[in-house]
């Protein structure tokens, strides 16, 4: 731009015709204005980049990991990721759902009326009931069979987590298509390729915690229920605990031997505190703190394991 401006100024010195001089003067004024305008754009863009970089630097490591996880799922920009995560208390699943509700288009996905969305809709209709327009239990079984998964494979819970499914035994169109968008797949073959990595998420602390907490509400018979039936909780524990819980076999044996009067429905406190118990002990029961406010069933389990509480010294 500077070179062009100098060229016109040089040319202006050689021009004698008055009309041409006026035109040349106008050209120089336009170029000068354009130069200022472009400089302002670059300055504003530079400020935005600095502001974004400073915002990223201000995040803690956990928040930075969430930003990266969000971007991997959606293909969103760093700015979009931080903006949405900050509004959802850095809950990745909620932020991802919000991302699609707002109609953002990430680089990894092609939304709207494109071929990607048409593929998702076609796939959905293969499994959905014509009466309810939902994928019901028969369709779900067929869906997982096509993926080469048994319905009792824990990976089915990971997939349901990505679908953000509200209840077991059905997927709505929004859940099914939205979940596949998050995973950036539009065919059974593509989803099959992701199964090893989806299953591996259960071996990470963050992935296991997300799916474990999701499974409680997902497996209740209806949203108004506060507890899981004892047998349902036991079945879920048998699926999930082997991935993280060092004493999962002993826990399940303990549950089997409970007298009938103690086989009560499992509330969210017991469900979540069992996860906290694992995080505290990590397989070393010596790290168990008997004076923490554990649910009675966990204290009973420790007695089952032969733990003898020591008397506190005063």
Q: At what angle do helices 115-127 and 137-146 cross, to 10 degrees?
A: 120
What DSSP character marks residue 222? S
Which of 13-22, 68-77, 195-204 holds the top average pLDDT?
A: 195-204
d(CA 230, CA 232): 5
Strand ranges for the chain from DSSP E: 135-136, 170-171, 227-228, 266-267
How far separated are the first and last CA of the chain, in Å rounded? 82
What span, in angstroms and rounded, lies between the C-alpha atoms of 117 and 290? 53
The candidate with the shortest Cα–Cα distance to 162, out of 211, 108, 113, is 211
How far is Cα 81 from Cα 71, in angstroms, rounded to an integer? 6
Top mean pLDDT of 29-43, 52-66, 259-273 is at 259-273
Helix (H, G, I), strand (E, B) or coil at 109: coil
Tell whether the model's pLDDT for residue 126 goes beyond 90: yes
CB contact at 8 A, 147 and 191: yes
Which of residues 191 and 245 earns the better pLDDT score? Answer: 191
Average pLDDT for 14-23: 52
pLDDT at residue number 165: 94
pLDDT tens readout for residues 207-224: 999 999 999 999 988 878
Is the pLDDT reported for residue 97 higher than 60?
A: yes
CA gap 289, 287 in Å, rounded: 6
**Structure-derived torsion over alpha carbons of residues 82, 87, 92, 96, reported in degrees to the nearest 10:** -90
pLDDT at 308 over 80: no
What are phi and psi for residue 238, nearest 5 degrees? Answer: -65, -30
Predicted TM-score (pTM) of the model is 0.63
Across 14-28, 66-80, 184-198, 225-239, least confident range = 14-28
pLDDT for residue 50? 53
| Burial class, 295, CB count within 10 angstroms (exposed 0-12 / middle 13-18 / buried 19+) | middle
**In the predicted structure, residue 283 carries a pLDDT above the cut 80:** no
The pLDDT score that the predictor gives to residue 137 is: 94
């Amino acid at each position: 731009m500077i070179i062009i401006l100098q060229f016109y100024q040089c040319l202006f010195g050689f021009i004698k015709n008055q009309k041409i001089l006026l035109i040349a003067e106008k050209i120089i004024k336009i170029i000068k204005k354009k130069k200022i305008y472009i400089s302002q754009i670059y300055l504003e863009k530079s400020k935005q980049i600095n502001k974004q970089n400073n915002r990223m630097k201000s995040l803690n490591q956990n928040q930075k990991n969430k930003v990266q996880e969000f971007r991997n799922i959606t293909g969103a920009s760093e700015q979009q990721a931080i903006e949405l995560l900050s509004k959802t208390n850095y809950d990745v699943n909620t932020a991802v759902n919000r991302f699609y509700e707002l109609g953002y288009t990430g680089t990894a996905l092609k939304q709207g009326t494109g071929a990607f969305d048409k593929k998702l809709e076609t796939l959905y209709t293969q499994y959905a009931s014509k009466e309810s327009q939902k994928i019901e239990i028969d369709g779900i079984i067929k869906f997982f069979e096509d993926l080469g998964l048994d319905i009792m494979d824990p990976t089915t819970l990971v997939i349901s987590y990505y679908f953000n499914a509200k209840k077991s035994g059905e997927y709505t169109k929004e859940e099914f298509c939205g979940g596949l968008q998050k995973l950036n797949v539009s065919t059974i073959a593509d989803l099959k390729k992701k199964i090893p990595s989806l299953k591996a998420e259960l071996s990470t602390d963050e992935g296991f915690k997300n799916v474990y907490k999701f499974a409680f509400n997902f497996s209740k018979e209806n949203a108004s229920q506060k507890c899981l039936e004892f047998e349902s909780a036991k079945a879920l524990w048998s699926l999930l605990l082997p991935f993280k819980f060092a004493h999962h076999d002993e826990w399940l044996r303990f549950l089997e031997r409970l007298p009938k009067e103690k086989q009560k429905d499992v509330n969210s406190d017991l469900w979540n505190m069992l996860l906290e118990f694992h995080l505290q002990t990590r397989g070393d029961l010596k790290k168990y703190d008997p004076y923490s406010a554990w649910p009675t069933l966990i204290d009973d389990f420790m007695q089952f394991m032969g733990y003898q509480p020591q008397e506190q010294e005063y």
